[in-house]
């Protein structure tokens, strides 16, 4: 989930300085138009300690029209608030038509803190999150645009900033007890955030994850997202005023400075000898483990996605070779059948969920919805945005049922893909593997990268993380996959 | 919630016989058109024991086109099901575009039984219900029409039927252990159902409550609802195919044989002397109790709705007279201000939620959304249907916060209303109380009755039941209100 935003993206000082006037003007202008269109905008600023939430709040107050904007914090809890139901304070903060409300911590800070500090258990936390889903649905049904920002920092950077702050306290910026406590519990905060984002990232009120390492990057990113969303909301408003808003469907493509794919080390490679040894040993272990899983009734679901020619098929064959064919089924996802087309897109995948003790391997999967269907326009933005929540719901049900779910993205560079395509064209028995469509997809590589970034951001969760496979070297890719399967299955069986 | 459907509505044998061919034809025809339109229809049949769920299932198989219909039961849990996540069985049962699936017990039987039998606690039950909300949202987003029927029987009738069944077991109709257990726990089943219906009655998949006392009435009622919903879905489909379905917005007005208002005994009356004594004593108690509530920080919210001239104002004045003016505020709901109009309709009511220890009395309330706004067409069907869930969410938050919430519907007969209107017109100091609008509303009495029935059905909940006040005699009405306030407040303070 945080893979894409922990990359420490930066924006050059000079470029920022040159860009700033334009960014401000565009944001100001978009807000003014939204006012005329009567769209109420709610911005939630959440994130880890020291990620600059306060600075962002200040920035929005500077850059946006302050007459149309109100800022709300919910701490300390005043007598007025304490004496009423918790949501009274949030209702009070809601903007009228055409106005903007910026909410520090929004309606997430409180339940998150209670959960991290152990005051409520997971069931109670989830129940509170569901109340938020219902609340946001109510707002969206009423045409309110709700955008939730999560400002992310890696732990080392956070620690450094907190240390600086203790040494050189800024005026008015003394850390409160709660803040110190939350700062110390970085991992728990992230876990709580992951659960909250997974459950509450709905098309009614999407989360936008922000790499907050560099403030210039952050400012540009957030203002770009806001401008895009406001414009999108106005376009949609024109079409379906009575239908309420899908806040997510106006987000468009997020202006990422870096892709999570850039973080994959493609130089990793394996010698043939070492490869053969490892392959042999891993497949051996897998055979034993898969029978043990069968005896224990533990199921496995493997999902393979990746670039064309990245070696999905090869990796899958190496995994299958380690398992008894009676224990798994391989589902190659081609175009849907007539029957499948007549159902919800998830229906065809539910069909093949393995029974206890067995495995299903999906060669391409439900992620087609947010990859090819998104990029090719087979699914509308409303549809593929909604799919992240649908997929997370689906995967939650698999893992809650004790199924081991592993997802692989096979990654190769642009050059390597070209090399493999050409090789396929020149090798008679491989020619069937390369089609015009593959070449067309190649041209859309940038769009696919954006789709992969969003996919990893929204669906690499605590319950079902993605494994990004370095497959530039085929041998390395295959061993990385096999090792992950073996180790995760082993861990699962020991649990 | 079950007020409207526990009235033992019946349909005359001869009338039913005359109607039957037409009912069948209309249902068959509606289903066939839905097939052409490609609408998938899911019908859930739930209800208390012996309410005739099986018979209804059989009926739908007879009356509808069996080639387009499939029936699903989820008991006993087969090996196939048990070996997979619980929802696998539900996904498997979903109909393709244009087809109908009838699900016995749907996805509600299982969690309800687990909860009633104490296998899961309320938090876990609520969590399961939320999964169902998300699932139904997914189906609705995909254009599936989901209708959930709850067949209701009063306890005495159920007991009698179960006894008959034990004495004269029908072939293949032996009661299972679970069934016997559930039959014995009538109150718990109702409590579980009320919670489920309150949380999951969303516009994506509405509940329809059925008075199942008389099978002829039941058959006509259910088939009428189905025909209406299918036609509505086709009409809407034409307008917004890409937007998914609001299953609720196609329900229209339900063909109720009786109104819950018919069950109110309007002959109740009080002598002046007794009235004065009771009034005095109740107001006295209220004074003490309201100060005690203030010391304990317990808030009260009173909601008054009712027919024009039913005596809301008079009743409110008698309640207020028993409280220190510093302890309550009275909110008369007139047309919304500009500021209020620029917000969600609930915003104006959230504003006035009392702080701990105080009371707010709403003279007309958020129920305007499902009463006047529905009848006068100020809110679309999508909007007022959605409002039941929004209102239940709101009231849940009030009561969870420890607020005592009491809701009164002041009822008088048509004749009595006419008498009071005329009296007002003839009495100089009362003339301002009667307007042309009042006369117009009178003409729409039948529509208001239907709106009141739905309001009571969907919002008279475990946490905030409606009190239906017999106000034909003004004195009786006032004392009934005052007594309810005093007794409930007393009970609340002792808790």
Report whether pLDDT(B242) > 50: no
CB-nearest partner of A94 from B134, B138, B343: B343
For A147-163, give one letter per residue: b (16+ CB within 10 A) or e: bbbbbbbbeebbbebbe
User: Considering only CB atoms, which chain B residues are within 8 Å of A342?
Assistant: 38, 40, 96-98
Higher pLDDT, A338 or A23: A23
CA distances to A61, A100, A230, B379 from A70, in Å: 8, 6, 17, 29
- Is beta strand B300-306 parallel, antiparallel or unpaired with respect to B328-332? unpaired
Counting every residue written for chain A, the total comes to 495
Looking at the complex, report in whole angstroms how far the Cα of residue A92 sits from the nearest Cα belonging to chain B.
7
| SS3 of residue A346 by DSSP | coil
- Is beta strand A328-332 parallel, antiparallel or unpaired with respect to A300-306? unpaired
Q: What is the 3-state secondary structure (H, E, C) of A153-184?
A: CCHHHHHHHHHHHHHCCCCCCCCCHHHHHHHH
User: Considering only CB atoms, which chain A residues are within 8 Å of B84?
Assistant: 353-356, 401
Confidence band of A246 (pLDDT split at 50, 70, 90): low
- Report ipTM (2 d.p.): 0.74
H helix intervals, A201-271: 215-239
Report whether pLDDT(B241) > 60: no
Mean pLDDT on A273-284: 95
Mean pLDDT on B432-451: 85
CA distances to A312, B109, B122, B183, B189 from B117, in Å: 48, 12, 12, 12, 9
Report whether pLDDT(B221) > 70: yes
Mean pLDDT on A31-58: 90
pLDDT tens, B322-333?
Answer: 999 889 999 887
Largest CA distance in chain A: 78
Looking at the complex, report in whole angstroms how far the Cα of residue B351 sits from the nearest Cα belonging to chain A.
7
pLDDT tens, A445-460?
Answer: 889 998 998 899 889 9
* Among B residues 119-148, those touching chain A with beta carbons less than 8 Å apart: 123-124, 126-127, 130-131, 134-135, 138-139, 141-142, 144
Report whether pLDDT(A89) > 80: yes
Q: A129-138, B83-92, B299-308: which range is least confident on average?
A: B83-92
Q: Which of A136-140, A452-456, B230-234 has the highest mean pLDDT?
A: A452-456
What percentage of chain A exceeds 70 in pLDDT?
Answer: 95
User: Considering only CB atoms, which chain A residues are within 8 Å of B138?
Assistant: 344, 346, 390, 393
Q: A111-115, A154-158, B131-135, B240-244: which range is least confident on average?
A: B240-244
First to last CA, chain A: 24
Give the model's pLDDT for residue B397: 87
User: Considering only CB atoms, which chain A residues are within 8 Å of B200?
Assistant: none
Higher pLDDT, B275 or A6: B275
Q: A74-78, A382-386, A416-420, B249-253: which range is least confident on average?
A: B249-253
CB-nearest partner of A397 from B87, B123, B355: B87
- Burial of residue B229 (CB within 10 Å: 0-12, 13-18, 19+) is buried
Report whether pLDDT(B174) > 80: no
Compute the CA torsion angle A147, A153, A154, A157 (nearest 10 deg): 180
What radius of gyration, in Å, describes the C-alpha atoms of chain A? 24
Give the model's pLDDT for residue B243: 47
| SS3 of residue A41 by DSSP | strand
CB-nearest partner of B356 from A83, A240, A390: A83
What radius of gyration, in Å, describes the C-alpha atoms of chain B? 24
Confidence band of B66 (pLDDT split at 50, 70, 90): confident
Looking at the complex, report in whole angstroms how far the Cα of residue A395 sits from the nearest Cα belonging to chain B.
10
The span from the CA of A281 to the CA of A115, in Å, is 43
The span from the CA of A409 to the CA of B458, in Å, is 47
Q: A401: nearest CA in chain B?
A: B85
Phi, psi angle pair for B29, to nearest 5°: -65, -45
CA distances to A121, A317, A440, A445 from A434, in Å: 52, 19, 11, 16
Q: B246: nearest CA in chain A?
A: A243
Does the beta carbon of B201 lie under 8 angstroms from any beta carbon of chain A?
no
Q: A4-8, A131-135, A381-385: which range is least confident on average?
A: A4-8
With tokens 């459907």, the residue in question is: B5
**B135 CB contacts (<8 Å, ≥6 apart)?**
A393, B87, B90, B107
User: Considering only CB atoms, which chain A residues are within 8 Å of B126?
Assistant: 127, 130
Mean pLDDT on A132-151: 89
Report whether pLDDT(A148) > 80: yes
Q: What is the mean pLDDT of chain B?
A: 87
Peptide bond between residue B76 and the one before it cis (omega within 30 degrees of 0):
yes
Give the DSSP per-residue string, B347-385: HHHHTTPPPTT-EEEEES-GGGGTTHHHHTTSS-HHHHH
Give the model's pLDDT for residue B246: 64
Q: What is the 3-state secondary structure (H, E, C) of A80-117?
A: HHHCCCCHHHHHHHCCCCCCEEEEECCCCHHHHHHHHC
- Find, among A377, A410, A382, A407, the residue nearest to A392 by Cα: A407
Mean pLDDT on A122-141: 88
Task: Tell how far CA B416 is from the center of its chain.
Answer: 27
The span from the CA of A179 to the CA of A232, in Å, is 36
CB-nearest partner of A343 from B84, B85, B94: B94
The span from the CA of B491 to the CA of B495, in Å, is 6
* Among A residues 92-111, those touching chain B with beta carbons less than 8 Å apart: 92, 94, 96-98
Confidence band of B261 (pLDDT split at 50, 70, 90): confident
Give the model's pLDDT for residue B245: 52
Looking at the complex, report in whole angstroms how far the Cα of residue A91 sits from the nearest Cα belonging to chain B.
6
Strand partners, A207: A148
Report whether pLDDT(A241) > 60: no
Mean pLDDT on A335-363: 87
Report whether pLDDT(A173) > 70: no
Q: What is the mean pLDDT of chain A?
A: 87
| SS3 of residue B49 by DSSP | coil
| SS3 of residue A146 by DSSP | strand
Compute the CA torsion angle B469, B474, B479, B482 (nearest 10 deg): 70
Looking at the complex, report in whole angstroms how far the Cα of residue B346 sits from the nearest Cα belonging to chain A.
9
Mean pLDDT on B107-128: 91
The span from the CA of B234 to the CA of B40, in Å, is 11
Give the model's pLDDT for residue A254: 67
Give the model's pLDDT for residue B260: 82
Give the model's pLDDT for residue B247: 67
Mean pLDDT on A469-480: 96
Helices (H) and strands (E) in chain A, counts: 20, 10
Does the beta carbon of A85 lie under 8 angstroms from any beta carbon of chain B?
yes
């Amino acid at each position: 989930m945080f893979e894409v935003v922990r990359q420490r993206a930066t924006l050059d000082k000079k470029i920022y300085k040159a860009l700033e006037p334009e960014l401000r003007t565009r944001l100001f202008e978009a807000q003014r138009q939204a006012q005329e269109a009567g769209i109420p905008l709610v911005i939630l600023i959440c994130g880890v300690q020291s990620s600059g939430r306060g600075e962002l709040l200040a920035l929005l107050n500077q850059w946006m029209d302050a007459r149309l904007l109100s800022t709300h914090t919910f701490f300390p809890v005043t007598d007025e608030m304490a004496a009423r139901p918790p949501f009274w304070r949030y209702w009070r903060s809601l903007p009228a038509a055409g106005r903007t409300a910026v909410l520090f911590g929004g309606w997430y800070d409180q339940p998150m803190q209670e959960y991290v500090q152990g005051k409520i258990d997971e069931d109670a936390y989830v129940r509170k999150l569901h109340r938020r889903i219902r609340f946001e649905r109510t707002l969206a049904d009423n045409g309110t645009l709700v955008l939730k920002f999560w400002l992310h920092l890696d732990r080392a950077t956070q620690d450094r900033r907190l240390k600086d702050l203790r040494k050189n306290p800024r005026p008015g910026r003394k850390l409160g007890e709660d803040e110190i406590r939350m700062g110390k519990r970085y991992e728990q905060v992230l876990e709580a955030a992951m659960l909250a984002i997974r459950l509450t990232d709905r098309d009614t009120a999407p989360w936008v994850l922000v790499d907050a390492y560099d403030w210039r990057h952050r400012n540009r990113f957030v203002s770009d997202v806001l401008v895009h969303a406001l414009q999108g909301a106005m376009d949609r408003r024109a079409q379906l005023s009575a239908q309420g808003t899908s806040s997510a469907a106006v987000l468009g493509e997020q202006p990422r400075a870096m892709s999570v794919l850039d973080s994959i080390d493609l130089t990793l490679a394996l010698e043939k000898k070492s490869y053969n040894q490892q392959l042999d040993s891993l497949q051996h272990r897998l055979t034993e483990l898969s029978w043990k899983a069968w005896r224990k009734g533990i199921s496995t679901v493997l999902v393979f996605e990746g670039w064309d020619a990245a070696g999905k098929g090869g990796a899958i064959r190496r995994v299958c070779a380690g398992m008894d064919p009676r224990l798994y089924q391989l589902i190659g996802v081609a175009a849907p059948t007539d029957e499948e087309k007549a159902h919800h897109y998830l229906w065809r995948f539910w069909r093949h969920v393995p029974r206890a003790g067995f495995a299903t391997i999906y060669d391409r999967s439900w992620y087609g919805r947010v990859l090819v269907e998104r990029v090719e326009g087979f699914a509308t933005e409303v549809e593929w945005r909604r799919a992240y929540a649908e997929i997370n719901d689906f995967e939650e049900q698999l893992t809650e049922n004790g199924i081991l779910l592993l997802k692989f993205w096979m990654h190769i560079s642009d050059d390597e893909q070209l090399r493999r395509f050409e090789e396929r064209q020149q090798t008679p028995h491989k020619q069937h593997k390369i089609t015009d469509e593959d070449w067309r997809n190649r041209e859309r590589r940038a769009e696919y990268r954006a789709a992969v970034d969003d996919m990893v951001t929204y669906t690499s969760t605590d319950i079902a993380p993605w494994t990004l496979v370095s497959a530039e070297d085929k041998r390395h890719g295959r061993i990385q996959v096999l090792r992950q399967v073996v180790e995760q299955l082993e861990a699962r069986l020991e649990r």
